[in-house]
Amino acid sequence: MRYAVISDIHSNLEAFSAFIDEVENLDINKIICLGDIVGYNANPNECIDIIRKKKIICVMGNHDSRASGLEDPFDFNLQAQTAIYWTRHALNAENKEFLRNLPRTLLIDNKFLAVHGSIDDTDTYILGERSALRNFDLLREMGRPNLCFFGHTHVPVTFAEHDGSADIKTDQTIKIEKGVNYLINPGSIGQPRDRDPRASFIIYDTRKSIVTFHRIEYDIQSTAEKILAAGLPERLAERLKLGW
């Protein structure tokens, strides 16, 4: 099987469409989304419509839960809060209901776990060795496979567990070895935060046991213009150009 794993689309239709076009040439069997379909950018309904039309398997992100009304964005910064309230108003009823019904965690084909933030908390970040080790413990307690894909940070990274430590890897190709636990973040489709503005995703080839990281260009200017036209904060448009 060949899986494309994406995360943090954040209503960025141009980036998401560029990914959809790219993935058609990559011999992919399934697309998995690690949440945050909406938030920040100006095309929430259109992005959800693609998810539904393409039957993309998706877990719930923290912006999805807030935009759907399951939770309030009181712990978000002002720009994120503004985007959530705008998104709530923009979403149609059917797409709000779709977001509300997304699962928080999924075991995909008994091969890997898919979550948004931490394994036990959609809102908690996996940022370094300490949080990675905690999630490796959770992975073992659940009796799941040795691989978990997560999002939320918008930064592509791999944590590999060796002898009680979590090695941080930024290699573009990762060999999944037996007996080693992995936490892998594909980065963000719609709002990268690693100083590279290109949309980021990964391909997991289970036959070869290899994960590869990919980047693609998209029309950032159009996305930025839509943000401004919608009355969303200007900073949300500027950060896309900076990859932050």
184-231 pLDDT per residue, tens: 999 999 999 999 999 999 999 999 999 999 999 999 999 999 999 999
pLDDT of 57 higher than 80: yes
pTM of the model: 0.97
Is pLDDT at 107 greater than 80 in this prediction?
yes
Distance CA 149, CA 59 (A): 11
**% of the chain exceeding 70 in pLDDT:** 100
Q: What is the pLDDT of residue 143?
A: 87
Instruction: Give the DSSP letter of residue 69.
Output: T
Write the CATH number for 125: 3.60.21.10
Per-residue pLDDT tens for 64-80?
999 999 999 999 999 99
Which pair of structure tokens corresponds to residue 122? 């959609």
Number of domains in the chain: 1
Domain region containing 22: 2-242
Asked whether residue 118 carries a pLDDT value surpassing 90, the answer given is yes
Residues 123-152 have pLDDT tens digits of 999 999 999 999 999 999 988 789 999 999
Which residue has tokens 């944590």? 159
Alpha-carbon dihedral sign for residues 174, 144, 132, 16: positive
Residue 41 and residue 191 in contact, taking contact as beta carbons nearer than 8 Å: yes
